[in-house]
Chains A and B, each alone.
Chain A
Amino acid sequence: MNEHDSDGSEFERRSRATLEESVERLDARTRSRLNQARQRALAEYAARRASPWRRWLGAGALLPAGAVAAAVLLAVTIWNAPRGLEPDAVVARGEVATAFEDLELLADGGALVDGGESVDFDFYEWAAAEAEAVGT
């Protein structure tokens, strides 16, 4: 094939001039509609520059409105829900309870193994005497 596909020939020049003349002869209606098409494209460009998220909305890539609403509702519910006991709090509460139980046991045991300062020996002697008197 010819390496130089365009040889700048008279035929090429005349055909180009003829086509350009045909463009110059486009009727007013066609020119107007082309202008409208251009303005529409430029308006689209301006809108996209003003709001980049419009691209997602226009492309339909946004999640369905119901899914978005559900996600928002879930987030609000979690945020406002009454907070349960944290694990550390549970452990702390258990430790406190155990401490109280231990204290009660110690108190009881202390009473039993008390060194005698608080034991009422007179009461025990009276009770034994009363028991003997009843037995006799």
Chain B
Amino acid sequence: MSPIAATLGPIYSTPAACRGPRDVAATNSESRALEAFLAGVERKAFKIAQLALRNEDDALDAVQDAMLSLVRRYAARPSEEWKPLFYRILENRVRDMQRRRTVSGRVMAWLPARAFDDDEVDDPVASAADHEPAVVDKLQMEEAIGALEARIAALPARQRQAFLLRNFEGLDVAATAVAMGCSEGSVKTHYFRALQTLRAELGEFWS
């Protein structure tokens, strides 16, 4: 794609029927790059959204919305910009869903509480630990995952974002700042505080 076409964006791009073989090849290349990018971020993005929203369906919706929004608005941008832009979109979507949930929660608070469901009580025999080594390791990992995710989910939103984008997704400070819409100094502060909190609370697992 020419620099001008890239600047003007897809709205002014030439229809496929009028494009030459070189343009079609470039389009296919862009499509493959986009697919590889989305496939590479989708699971971590889902996990980040899930920790923020604490609901799988909402997290899936947020990831899908972020994918569509990236494709519609920023597909023509250089691929190295996609990741911070994608997480910026995802964070905005998560925030919107949290706000909506807060409003609906206030409304639901006026309604009668749901009766306790006795069927949800765990069966102590079925949940008893198996002592085979592989199973023990698996259970320990599950326990570690559960503990870490619970602590991360309890962090203040900005600390959670900084920790997950820096540590889990591997964005550098500058890209994290773009994704969070704040300064690089703020990213460092949020990340440092998140580390302090998690270390203090999870020392029993990783000390």
Interface residues of chain A, those whose CB is within 8 Å of chain B, are: 1-3, 5-6, 9-12, 14-16, 18-23, 25-26, 30-31, 33-35, 37-38, 40-42, 44-46, 48-52, 55-56
Q: Across the interface, which residues of B come within 8 angstroms of A46, CB to CB? A: 31
The CA of A22 and the CA of B48, in the complex, are separated in Å by 11
Chain A residue numbers with a CB within 8 Å of B11 are 52, 55-56
With A and B bound together, what is the CA distance between A14 and B167 in angstroms? 10
Given A19-B168, A52-B12, is A44 in contact with B145 using a C-beta cutoff of 8 Å?
no
Q: Is A49 touching B64 in the complex (CB atoms < 8 A)? A: no
Across-interface contacts of B141 in A (CB, < 8 A): 18, 21
- Residue of A18, A22, A38, A41 contacting most chain B CB atoms (<10 Å): A41
B interface majority secondary structure: helix
Partner of A2, one of B13, B71, B164, B188: B188
Q: In the complex, how many angstroms separate the beta carbon of B199 from the nearest chain A beta carbon?
A: 6
Q: Are B191 and A37 in touch, CB under 8 angstroms?
A: no
- Contact B187–A5 (Cβ < 8 Å): yes
A42→B71 contact, CB < 8 A: yes
A50 to B31, CA, bound (A): 12
30 residue pairs from A and B, CB less than 8 Å apart: A1-B192, A2-B192, A3-B188, A5-B188, A5-B192, A12-B167, A12-B195, A16-B168, A18-B148, A19-B145, A19-B149, A21-B145, A22-B47, A25-B145, A30-B46, A30-B60, A33-B60, A34-B60, A34-B63, A37-B63, A38-B38, A41-B70, A42-B71, A45-B71, A48-B72, A48-B75, A49-B13, A49-B16, A52-B11, A55-B72
With contacts A22-B47, A46-B31 taken as known, whether A5 is within 8 angstroms of B191 at the C-beta atoms is: yes
Pair count A-B, CB < 8 A: 124
Neighbouring B residues of A26 by C-beta, 8 Å: 43, 46-47
Contact of B188 among A1, A16, A23 (CB under 8 A): A1
Contact B75 A16 (CB under 8 A): no
A121 to B27, CA, bound (A): 103
Q: Which residue of B lies closest to A44 (CB)?
A: B71
Q: Say how far A3's CB is from chain B's closest CB, in angstroms.
A: 7
Are the CB atoms of A37 and B42 closer together than 8 Å? yes
Q: A15 CB to closest chain B CB, in angstroms?
A: 6
Partner of B31, one of A10, A45, A51: A45
**0/1 interface trace, chain B 175-207, chain A, CB 8 Å (1 if under):** 000000000000111011001001100100010
What is the minimal beta-carbon distance from A46 to any residue of chain B, in angstroms? 7
Contact B206 A41 (CB under 8 A): no
- Known: A30-B60, A37-B60. Is A50-B15 also a contact (CB below 8 A)? yes
Query: A35 vs B10: C-alpha distance in the bound complex, in angstroms?
Result: 25
Complexed CA–CA distance, A80 and B10 (Å): 37
Q: Nearest Cβ in chain A — how far from B34, in angstroms?
A: 6
Name the distance in Å between A61's Cβ and chain B's nearest Cβ.
Answer: 10
Query: Is B155 close to A, CB under 8 A?
Result: no
* Complex-state Cα separation, A12 to B56, whole angstroms: 25
In the bound complex, how far is the Cα of B46 from the Cα of A38, in angstroms? 12
Contact of A42 among B35, B145, B173, B192 (CB under 8 A): B35
- Nearest chain B CB to A31's CB is how many angstroms away? 8
